[in-house]
Amino acid sequence: MDGATRWVKVWDAPTRLFHWSLVALIAGAWFTAENGWIDWHFRCGYAILALLLFRLVWGFVGSDTARFVRFVKSPVAALAHLAHITKREPDTEIGHNAAGGLMVLAMLALILVQVGLGLFSTDGIFTDGPLAYLVGPDLSDRITGWHEFNFNLILAAVVLHVAAILTYAVLKRHDLVRPMVTGLKKLPAGLAAPRMAPLWLALLVFAVAAGGVYAFATLA
């Protein structure tokens, strides 16, 4: 009947674990840097790199809602979506909306740049990134400055992300947090559930990503 809804699984466990693990590791990377725990800072960085590699691959082979082709839209589509931000209406989005999809891309790009810069950075005293020797001390020192500046961009993106979640909650009464925790979202009964990729595939992708990063960290 009209108005009927049902609970639908829209986010798989690997995507949700990636999201919250990334949050924790970015906080850990900041905390360890602030306290001068450089070895742990690099460990956080390597773990973030493994997560990013997993997410990039998962964006092509993972569940429907995790795939880039499903949620990456044009800036025009994002602006068209935001034009209705104040209109209260049922939440019928399966996965990221057009604006949220671009925010995901921006966040992934900023974090990937951050990790890449960290590999060439130096603290100028005891610890160099594993690839710092390739660029020399002067450029490595400048890259460290870019690394610090880029983290401010990540913080700005995080603030914007949280502000968007709060805006949707207040203006549209859309809860975007619970689905990323439970995986479930109440949607109109007529909408088809997205296809979920098998867990073994996620474990395989992550094992390859983590193994590659471990080999790099050990041999670099």
The 10 Å Cβ neighbour count of residue 160 is 13
CATH of residue 81's domain is 1.20.950
| Residue 35 covered by a domain | yes
User: Per residue in 60-86, pLDDT tens?
Assistant: 999 999 999 999 999 999 999 999 888
| Residue 141 forms part of a structural domain | yes
Query: Structurally, how many domains does the chain consist of?
Result: 1
Domain ranges, residue 201: 21-219
Residue 78's Cβ-side half-sphere holds a number of Cα atoms within 13 Å equal to 13
pTM (two decimals): 0.93
Token pair of 49 as six digits: 């790199």
Look at residue 130 and tell me if it is in a domain: yes
Q: With respect to residue 10, please indicate whether it lies within any of the assigned structural domains.
A: no
- Residue 13 counted as domain residue: no
**Does a structural domain hold residue 3?**
no
Question: What are the φ and ψ backbone dihedral angles of 188, each rounded to 5 degrees?
Answer: -55, 140
Average pLDDT on 86-93 reads 88
| 2-6, 15-19, 184-188, 209-213: the lowest-pLDDT one | 2-6
